[in-house]
């Protein structure tokens, strides 16, 4: 299991310093869906950046004089500057989640190793936060499967500072960003490691959280492609893996999406027999019935009625 906990490179340290400098300047940005991002950027007058939010949020090209010397130098040290003729563009974005800043991939997220942050991120973090604020039992070990930029893992680590929190991903760029975001947030109980699901990670967990990709992506980008069952395949694999690794009294929190065909939810249909046989406490609900409607225009979703976001909570009974 390769460890990504330490910030080994000067560019990573510079990226932490860049985030700190943005925070000192009061920078905040809420990242919308890619479709909204594109629509806003295409508006007249939005082609060139005028301020920090345009540069680091909206991913717009900027002139050298738009940015102060300190930030420009930190971008250079962090290797996130890209020349575009007489202008520059940032290779990363910075988004706000509460009082925490997160670095992630710039728009558009076309690269195979792109690290996504958007409305799903906010809903997932809220799910984790609400659970941990209402269930105050002590937790020794928490794991985030497919951590991305680390919002779920960091939310858990901040709310459970006595717990060991693991952030796992198969995307090394995601782990590198999580390391930067963890350092910037001043969190000391979060560890990062390269892992496919829970492979090469020992032991059981008191809380398993996951926000996996759930779309069918022709380019099979790791942050977006959810595999079979119209994108629900990876969610099903996480469900199966969690059954074997939950400690007594442990909980799985899974936030994901599913394409609905003729009123049927293929993910729920697939896990329902296990839920019935286990007899564990669980809840399964749609928390947003209609997301990414533009995907319905694509051939793979031509017969889908809608794409819904769901939240599954599954709790293993404690040892009596």
The answer to whether residues 254 and 241 touch, using CB atoms and an 8 Å cutoff, is no
* Domain identity same for 184 and 244: yes
Answer whether residue 166 is part of any domain.
yes
- Does residue 110 belong to any structural domain of this protein? no
Range of the domain at 269: 119-315
Distant-in-sequence, close-in-space partners of 124: CB < 8 Å, separation ≥ 6? 151, 152, 209, 211, 255
Domain count, the chain: 2
Cβ–Cβ < 8 Å for 18, 181? no
Q: Please enumerate in sequence order all residues whose Cβ is within 8 A of that of 247, keeping only pairs 6 or more positions apart, or say none.
A: 141, 204, 205, 206, 316
Distance, in Å, from the CA atom of 205 to the CA atom of 247, rounded to the nearest integer, reads: 5
Domain identity same for 73 and 24: yes
**pLDDT tens, position by position, 64-123:** 999 999 999 999 999 999 999 999 999 999 999 999 999 999 999 988 899 999 999 999
pLDDT digits (tens, 9 = 90+) for 208-262: 999 999 887 777 777 777 777 787 899 999 999 999 999 999 999 999 999 999 9
Residue 181 inside a domain? The answer is yes
Last residue of a domain, one of 63, 96, 129: 96
Instruction: Provide the β-strand partners of residue 213.
Output: none
Residue 107 lies in a domain: no
What whole-number percentage of the chain has pLDDT above 90?
Answer: 85
Same domain, 57 and 183: no
56 and 185 in a single domain? The answer is no
Helix (H) / strand (E) element for 280: namely: none
The verdict on residue 101 lying in a domain is: no
Confidence (pTM): 0.95
Do residues 307 and 165 share a domain?
Answer: yes
* pLDDT of 6 strictly over 60: no
In this structure, the dihedral spanned by the alpha carbons of residues 53, 57, 59 and 61, taken in order and rounded to 10 degrees, is: 10
Pair (176, 224) in one structural domain: yes
For residue range 170-196, list pLDDT tens digits in order. Answer: 999 999 999 999 999 999 999 999 999
For tokens 């796992």, name the residue.
168
- Which H or E run includes 4? none
Both 64 and 144 in one domain: the answer is no
Cα 167 to chain centroid distance, Å, stands at: 11
My answer on whether 84 and 126 are in the same domain is no
Q: Are 148 and 208 members of one domain?
A: yes
Q: pLDDT-based confidence at 8, cuts 50/70/90?
A: low
| Residue 2 pLDDT > 60 | no
Asked if the structure places residue 233 within a domain, the reply is: yes
* Residue 32 burial by Cβ neighbours in a 10 Å radius (0-12, 13-18, 19+): middle
Domain at 171, CATH number: 3.40.50.150
CA distance 184 to 178: 10
Are 51 and 187 found together in one domain?
no
Does residue 154 share a domain with residue 91? Answer: no
Question: Tokens representing 166?
Answer: 């693991």
Residues 137 and 247 in one domain: yes
Model pLDDT for residues 37-67, shown as the tens digit of each residue: 999 999 999 999 999 999 999 999 999 999 9
């Amino acid at each position: 299991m390769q460890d990504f906990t330490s910030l080994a490179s000067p560019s990573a340290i510079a990226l932490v310093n860049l985030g700190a400098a943005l925070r000192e300047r009061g920078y905040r940005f809420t990242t919308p869906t890619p479709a909204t991002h594109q629509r806003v950027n295409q508006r007249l007058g939005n082609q060139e950046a005028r301020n920090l939010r345009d540069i680091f949020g909206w991913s717009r090209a900027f002139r050298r004089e738009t940015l102060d010397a300190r930030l420009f130098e930190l971008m250079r040290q962090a290797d996130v500057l890209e020349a575009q003729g007489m202008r520059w563009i940032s290779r990363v974005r910075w988004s706000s989640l509460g009082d925490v800043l997160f670095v992630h991939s710039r728009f558009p997220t076309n690269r195979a190793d792109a690290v996504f942050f958007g409305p799903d991120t906010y809903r997932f973090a809220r799910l984790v936060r609400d659970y941990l604020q209402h269930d105050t039992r002590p937790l020794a070990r928490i794991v985030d499967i497919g951590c991305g930029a680390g919002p779920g893992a960091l939310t858990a680590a901040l709310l459970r500072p006595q717990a060991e929190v693991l952030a796992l991903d198969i995307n090394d760029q995601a782990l590198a960003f999580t390391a930067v975001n963890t350092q910037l947030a001043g969190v000391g109980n979060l560890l990062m490691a390269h892992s496919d699901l829970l492979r090469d990670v020992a032991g059981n967990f008191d809380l398993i959280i996951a926000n996996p990709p759930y779309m069918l992506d022709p380019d099979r980008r790791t942050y977006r492609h959810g595999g079979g069952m119209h994108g629900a395949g990876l969610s099903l694999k996480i469900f199966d893996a969690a059954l074997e690794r939950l400690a007594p009294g442990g909980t799985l929190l899974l936030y994901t999406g599913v394409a609905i065909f003729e009123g049927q939810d293929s993910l729920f249909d697939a896990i329902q027999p296990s839920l019935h046989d286990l007899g564990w406490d669980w809840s399964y609900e749609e928390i947003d019935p209609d997301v990414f409607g533009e995907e319905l225009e694509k051939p793979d979703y031509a017969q889908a009625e809608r794409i819904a976001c769901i939240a599954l909570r599954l709790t293993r009974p404690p040892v009596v």
